[in-house]
Amino acid sequence: MQVPLLDLKDQNAALRPEIEAAIGRVLNTNGFILGSEVAALEDDLAGYCGVKHAIGCASGSDAILLALMALNVGPGDEVITTPYSFFATVSSITRLGATPVFVDIEPEYFNIDPEKIEAKITPRTKAIEPVHLYGQCAAMDAINEIAARYSISVVEDAAQAIGAKDKDRHAGSMSIAGCFSFYPSKNLGGMGDGGFLTTNDEDVAKRLRALRVHGAEERYFHKYIGLNSRLDGFQGAVLRVKLPHLEKWTESRRENAEQYRRLFSEAELGDIVKLPAERDGAYHIYNQFVIRIKGRRDELRSYLTECGIGTDIYYPVPLHLQECFAYLGHKNGDLPESELAARETLALPIFPELRLDQIEYVVDSIAKFFRGSIS
C-alpha cells in the first residue's frame, strides 16, 4: 500500500469542472492581478475568520513581512518569536533590519512558551510574533496579557492555522494582524503561491492595502515604500471554489486524528510514541499530525519510507541554529525544547481524503517497527 504524506489529486479531481469554470471567468474578464475574484474572496475570508478585513497578498511569507511593515518594525527593533517554525517566521523580521529574539516552545504544544516571554522583553521590543504551529493556536490569552502590559503589538503567524480556534476566537482575529498562506500544502491551498492578512483595525487594513501595491493608496502616489505583493486573479478564483469545502476538509482531518489516537492506543505504543496534545479550549485543524519518537526517529522514518508511507520532519533545524542566522550568536543548547523537538518529531499523513485502511497501515507499520526491534 502507498500512503503519501499529502495527495491533492482526489480533492482537485472532484472540483475540476468548477475550477475550470472559475479560471475561465478570469480569462474572460482579464482580472489577473487582484480584481473582482480576489475582492470577493477577501470578503468570504473575512467572514470565515471572524474579522473585519482580509487582504490578499502574494504569499504567507509576504503576509508576515507586510504585517511587520505595517507596524513600522525596522532597524533597532526586536521581535519576540519562536525558533521552532518555518523559516519565513523569522526572515520577515531580519529582512526589515530588526532582530529576532527567540523564546523556547512549550513541549506539549510546540508553540511559544508564554511563561518565558517576559524575561526577553526589553525597551526595544516592538512586537511578539507567535506561530500557531501545525494548526493549533498558541496561548494567546497569556501572550496578549503580557503584550498589553508592555504596550507591545502582537502579530499571529497563522500560516498553518486557517479555521483554528481558541475558545471560539479564530486564528488571525486575536491580534493586530493575522498572516495566512495559500501554499498548496496548507489546509486551504491554492494552485501556486498566495497568502492573506486579517485585521480588525481600519488603519492597519488601509496600510496593508497600500503596502501590497508599492505603498500607494492612490496609484503613482507613494505614501510608503511598499512591495509588489498581490494575490492573482486565478488563485482568487480557485480559492473561492475551495473555501466552501474547507470546514468539511478540516473535520475530516480531525476525524483522521481521532482514528490515529484510537489505533495508537490499541497498539499500546504509549511509551514510545507521543501523540499531539490539544490544549483546553483549542480547535486544532491538523495541518500536520506530528508525533514524537524518543531515540530512533530517523530509523523509523526510513522504515516507513520502505513501507511506502510518506512522512516529513517539521523542522529538522531550529531557526536559531540556521547558518544564515549565525550572526545572532546562538549555539546548541540555547533553546533546548526546540532542539529536542527537532530531533523527535515526525509528521504522519493526515490529509482529508486519507482512508481508514491507510491510517491502519501507518499505525501497523509503526507498531511492527518497534515490536521487531524489541525482540
Ligand X SMILES: *Cc1c(COP(=O)(O)O)cnc(C)c1O
State the residues that interact with ligand X by CB under 6 A.
59-61, 85-86, 88-89, 131, 157, 159-160, 181, 183, 193, 195
**For ligand X, the closer CB: 87 or 370:** 87
CB of 335 to ligand X, least distance (A): 17
**For ligand X, the closer CB: 60 or 236:** 60
CB of 231 to ligand X, least distance (A): 11
CB of 159 to ligand X, least distance (A): 3
CB of 108 to ligand X, least distance (A): 18
Q: Pick the closest to residue 172 from 64, 80, 36, 89 (CA basis).
A: 64
**For ligand X, the closer CB: 77 or 157:** 157
CB of 375 to ligand X, least distance (A): 39
CB of 87 to ligand X, least distance (A): 8
**For ligand X, the closer CB: 61 or 235:** 61
**For ligand X, the closer CB: 101 or 133:** 133
**For ligand X, the closer CB: 287 or 358:** 287
Q: Pick the closest to residue 261 from 270, 252, 271, 272 (CA basis).
A: 270
CB of 320 to ligand X, least distance (A): 16
What are 289's strand-pairing partners?
A: 348
Contacts of 236 (CB under 8 A, 6+ apart): 26, 31, 34, 35, 37, 38, 39, 40, 41, 56
**For ligand X, the closer CB: 160 or 365:** 160
**For ligand X, the closer CB: 81 or 199:** 81
CB of 190 to ligand X, least distance (A): 9
Q: HEC states along the chain?
A: CCECCCCCHHHHHHHHHHHHHHHHHHHHHCCCECHHHHHHHHHHHHHHHCCCEEEEECCHHHHHHHHHHHCCCCCCCEEEECCCCCCHHHHHHHHCCCEEEECCECCCCCCECHHHCHHHCCCCEEEEECECHHHCCCCHHHHHHHHHHHCCEEEEECCCCCCCEECCEECCCCCCEEEEECCCCCCCCCCCCCEEEEECCHHHHHHHHHHCECCEEECCEECCCCCECCCEHHHHHHHHHHHHHHHHHHHHHHHHHHHHHHHHHHHCCCCCEECCCCCCCEECCCCCEEEEECCCHHHHHHHHHHCCECCECCCCCCHHHCHHHHHHCCCCCCCHHHHHHHHHEEEECCCCCCCHHHHHHHHHHHHHHHHHHHC
**For ligand X, the closer CB: 98 or 300:** 98
The Cα–Cα gap between 72 and 59 comes to: 20
CB of 352 to ligand X, least distance (A): 18
Joined grid coordinates for residue 356? 481508514
Residue nearest to ligand X (CB): 60
**For ligand X, the closer CB: 131 or 366:** 131
Looking only at the bridges linking them, the beta strands covering 216-218 and 153-157 are unpaired
CB of 365 to ligand X, least distance (A): 27
